[in-house]
């Protein structure tokens, strides 16, 4: 699967590529408007991460060209502007999602995964990790064939882990995913641990493996290795 | 008092005073001049009498001619000549007339006589009366002229000022257009208009650049923050990291998160102040509060807090995003600072919303809503309650803090 990252901050691009280079993802990069235009015209991508303010032109113009040419590439806008108007404008032009800087790479990965899943019209809305499977339409979680009864936050947490499987996710990233930017991180954010403990327990009760590993309490990783 | 009325009052009063003083001065001056003239006539008469005695060595006949009367009386001795003014009964006109008299000694054959020359002063008095009348008439005409002139002409003179004033009154930063005024005939008004034009142009320019500052600052600060966070996210993937290094990384994460939260809060405050949240709709406060507590259910469990819900239906018309921030900040504040086990109480009626949490000590109720004010143990940004206050100010709501028997109360009246 091919991804295109259009962003002029080289350091940020480097981190994004490093994180997203998964066995099934191939990342291509464009640092300015012209380069991006060429790449979009010549090939197709499963998903494009698009910065709005680019040297040489607006990212929104690229988005417009993409839609005018009836391209089916998924688009996630990454912008430093947290303005409702920009968000609405971007989504109206046909972007699939809008992510405000600064963001955690795990958040970007989860959203790109979601866009790609929606684009692949293969009828299956189920994603799985070993014996755990999630039906995205009914929001049902199963271990083998038995249903796991999860709260909304636990469901979101599991989905986030599966979207970032085998990656270490910081506590801060988990919190900002579950509660957007509402709560700051200080010593009293450890209640994220309660959520994870409950999730692990519920999966193990249904016979699932204990896949969520803690890294000295600073981060977590869904892994079977 | 209107400027025009004030101006009228001053100009009319001062002109009356000036005219009165001038009238009185005039009266005395004329009086003096005319009396001198009368006295001179009397002296001419005196000289004629003395000349007559010198040549004829006899007294001239006592005469009464027109309003002039000459008399002689024997006198015992010589005396200095003198003028006097007195009233004399006039047979013809049957009334007391004011007269001026010159008394002087004359000698005929060794006998002293008192000669008196008397002249009526009525004419002089009449003239003075006339002058007084003219002065009074002038006062009356001048003041009524001033009054009407200011009423009809000054009003027209002030017209450009009124136009400028109404332009200033209708000046609104929600639709920032500098004031453009027309050229007036009066220099001072043109000067005023120029200053107003320049000032509003500057205000509009500053306002727009402040508005853009929000976007620019956001972009400029968020991008380096995004780089730091992305590098951290990549760094923690390294399996070789020691526990000690991971602890350091956690501290960096927390600091960066706090910085990011701080910048977002400052930008939010700036946006509220720049009226960037103008659209509004009806917000169900009860539902919003309930949803917030659902979001933080596990946090409540973790802190062993119970929720005492006494919420009644409450709908408020405001910006939905600001309503969410308002409720969110109050709820987070209550859970975060709930000290010890106990309950968080939420209460509402059709006009107000109250939230309380257990605490140990009363907080400074004067400073609790100030920017960057924090209680000793708080690790927050110190902006949460400042944002609450700013949103309340924006809509004219009141927010009050109270501490009673180990409970912090925050009451919001819509």
pLDDT at residue A187 in the model:
46
Q: What is the ipTM of this complex?
A: 0.90
Q: How far apart are CA B173 and CA B376, in angstroms?
A: 40
Determine, for residues A16 and B254 on separate chains, whether the beta-carbon distance falls below 8 Å.
Answer: no
Q: Which helix (H) or strand (E) holds A117?
A: helix A105-119
pLDDT surpasses 90 at A216: no
Q: Are B352 and B414 in contact (CB under 8 A)?
A: yes
Rg (CA), chain A: 18
Shortest CA gap B292–chain A (Å): 10
Partner A, chain B 20-59, Cβ-Cβ below 8 Å: none
Predicted TM-score (pTM) of the model is 0.67
- H or E element, residue A178: helix A171-178
On chain A, the residues whose CB falls within 8 A of the CB of B223 are 9, 12, 80, 101
Among B231, B233, B258, the residue with its CB nearest the CB of A184 is B258
Asked if pLDDT for residue A145 goes beyond 70, the answer is yes
Closest residue of chain A to B332, computed from CA coordinates: A183
Is residue B30 within 8 A of residue B128, CB to CB? The reply is yes
Local mean pLDDT, 10-residue blocks, chain B (414 residues): 77 82 84 88 89 87 80 85 83 77 87 87 81 82 81 81 88 76 83 90 86 72 90 91 90 88 83 80 92 85 87 91 91 86 89 91 85 77 88 91 90 92
Sheet with A219-222, edge to edge strand ranges: A168-170, A219-222, A212-215
A202 is written with which tokens?
């519920």
- The answer on pLDDT for A169 being more than 80 is yes
Nearest-angstrom CA–CA distance, B93 and A63: 117
Q: Which residues of A touch B260 (CB under 8 A)?
A: 102, 181
Measured between CB atoms, does A176 come within 8 Å of chain B? yes
Phi, psi of A25 (to 5 degrees): -105, 135
Contacts of B256 in chain A (CB under 8 A): 102
Question: Does A191 lie at the interface with B, CB-CB under 8 angstroms?
Answer: yes
Q: Name which of A80, A156, A221 to mutate to probe chain B: the one with the most chain B Cβ atoms within 10 A of its Cβ.
A: A80
Cβ–Cβ gap B218/A18 under 8 Å: no
Contacting A residues, span 108-147, partner chain B, CB-CB under 8 Å = none
User: Is the Cβ of A58 closer than 8 Å to some Cβ of chain B?
Assistant: no
- What sections of A123-170 are H helices per DSSP? 152-163
Residue in B with minimal Cα distance to A221: B237
Task: Provide, as residue numbers in chain B, all residues whose Cβ is less than 8 Å from the Cβ of A160.
Answer: none
Residues 6+ apart with CB under 8 A from B122: B67, B97, B98
Distance from CA of A218 to the nearest CA of B (A): 6
Determine how many CB atoms are found less than 10 A away from the CB of residue A143: 19
Q: Which residues between 278 and 307 in chain B have a beta carbon less than 8 angstroms from any beta carbon of chain A?
A: 295-299, 301-303
B383, closest residue in chain A (CA to CA): A184
In this predicted structure, what is the pLDDT of residue B214?
A: 66
The pLDDT mean for chain A works out to 86
Q: Which residues in chain A have their CB less than 8 angstroms from residue B227's CB?
A: 9, 11-12, 15
- Contact with chain B for residue A173, Cβ under 8 A: yes
Q: So what's the pLDDT on residue B363?
A: 84
pLDDT digits (tens, 9 = 90+) for A46-84: 899 999 888 998 888 999 998 888 888 899 999 877 777
Q: What are B125-134's pLDDT values in tens digits?
A: 888 888 778 8
Q: Which residues of A touch B230 (CB under 8 A)?
A: 11-12, 15-16, 19, 102, 104-105
Q: pLDDT, tens digit, for every residue of A2-32?
A: 899 999 999 999 999 999 987 678 999 999 9
Per-residue confidence band for A181, with pLDDT thresholds at 50, 70 and 90: low
Is residue A95 scored above 70 in pLDDT? yes
Return the SS3 of A47.
Answer: strand
Listed by number, the residues of chain B in 89-108 with a beta carbon closer than 8 Å to a beta carbon of chain A are none
Q: B228, B231, B252, B257: best mutation site toward chain A, by most A Cβ within 10 Å?
A: B257
Contact A105 B233 (CB under 8 A): yes
Q: What is the DSSP string of B218-256?
A: HHHHHHHHHHHHHHHHHHTT-TT--HHHHHHHHHHHHHH
- Chain A CA closest to residue B262: A184
* Token output for B197: 């034009």
Smallest CA–CA distance, residue A144 to chain B, in Å, is 27
């Amino acid at each position: 699967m091919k991804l295109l990252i259009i962003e002029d901050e080289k350091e940020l691009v480097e981190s994004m590529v490093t994180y997203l280079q998964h066995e099934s993802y191939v990342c291509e990069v464009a640092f300015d408007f012209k380069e991006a235009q060429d790449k979009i015209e010549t090939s197709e991508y499963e998903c494009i991460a698009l910065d709005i303010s680019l040297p040489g032109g607006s990212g929104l113009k690229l988005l417009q060209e993409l839609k005018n040419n009836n391209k089916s590439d998924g688009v996630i806008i990454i912008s430093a502007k947290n303005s409702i108007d920009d968000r609405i404008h971007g989504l109206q032009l046909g972007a699939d999602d809008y992510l405000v800087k600064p963001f955690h790479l795990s958040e970007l990965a989860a959203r790109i995964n979601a866009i790609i899943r929606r684009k692949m019209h293969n009828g299956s809305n189920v994603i799985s990790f070993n014996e755990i499977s999630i039906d995205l339409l009914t929001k049902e979680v199963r271990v083998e064939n038995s249903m796991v009864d999860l709260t909304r936050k636990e469901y979101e947490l599991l989905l986030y882990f599966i979207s970032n499987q085998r990656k270490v996710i910081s506590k801060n990233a988990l919190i900002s995913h579950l509660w957007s930017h509402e709560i700051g991180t200080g010593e009293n954010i450890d209640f994220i641990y309660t959520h994870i403990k409950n999730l692990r327990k519920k999966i193990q009760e249904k016979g699932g493996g204990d896949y969520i590993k803690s890294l000295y309490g600073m981060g977590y990783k869904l892994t079977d290795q | 008092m209107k400027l025009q009325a004030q101006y009228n009052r001053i100009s009319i009063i001062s002109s009356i005073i000036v005219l009165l003083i001038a009238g009185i001065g005039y009266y005395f001056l004329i009086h003096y001049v005319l009396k001198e003239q009368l006295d001179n006539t009397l002296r001419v008469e005196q000289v004629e009498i003395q000349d007559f005695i010198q040549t004829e060595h006899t007294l001239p006949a006592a005469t009464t001619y027109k309003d002039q009367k000459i008399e002689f009386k024997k006198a015992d001795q010589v005396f200095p000549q003198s003028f006097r003014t007195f009233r004399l009964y006039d047979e013809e006109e049957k009334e007391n007339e004011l007269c001026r008299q010159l008394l002087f000694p004359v000698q005929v054959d060794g006998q002293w006589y008192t000669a008196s020359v008397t002249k009526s002063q009525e004419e002089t008095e009449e003239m003075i009366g006339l002058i007084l009348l003219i002065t009074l008439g002038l006062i009356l005409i001048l003041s009524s002229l001033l009054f009407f002139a200011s009423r009809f002409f000054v009003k027209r003179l002030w017209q450009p000022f009124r136009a400028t004033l109404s332009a200033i009154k209708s000046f609104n930063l929600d639709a920032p257009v500098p004031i453009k005024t027309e050229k007036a005939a009066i220099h001072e008004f043109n000067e005023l208009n120029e200053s107003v034009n320049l000032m509003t142009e500057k205000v509009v320019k500053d306002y727009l650049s402040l508005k853009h500052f929000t976007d620019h600052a956001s972009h400029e600060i968020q991008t380096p923050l995004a780089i730091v966070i992305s590098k951290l996210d990549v760094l923690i993937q390294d399996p070789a990291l020691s526990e000690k290094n991971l602890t350091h990384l956690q501290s960096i994460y927390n600091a960066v998160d706090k910085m990011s939260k701080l910048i977002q809060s400052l930008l939010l405050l700036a946006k509220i102040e720049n009226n960037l949240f103008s659209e509004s709709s009806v917000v169900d406060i009860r539902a919003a509060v309930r949803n917030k507590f659902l979001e933080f259910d596990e946090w409540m469990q973790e802190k062993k807090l119970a929720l005492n819900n006494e919420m009644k239906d409450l709908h408020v018309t405001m910006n939905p995003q600001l309503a969410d921030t308002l409720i969110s900040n109050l709820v987070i504040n209550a859970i975060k600072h709930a000290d010890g086990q106990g309950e968080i109480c939420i209460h509402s009626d059709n006009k107000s919303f109250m939230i309380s949490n257990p605490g140990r000590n009363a907080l400074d109720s004067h400073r609790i809503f100030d920017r960057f004010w924090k209680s000793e143990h708080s690790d927050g940004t110190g902006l949460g309650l400042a944002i609450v206050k700013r949103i309340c100010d924006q809509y004219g709501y009141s927010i009050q803090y109270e501490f009673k028997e180990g409970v912090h109360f925050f009451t919001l009246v819509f």
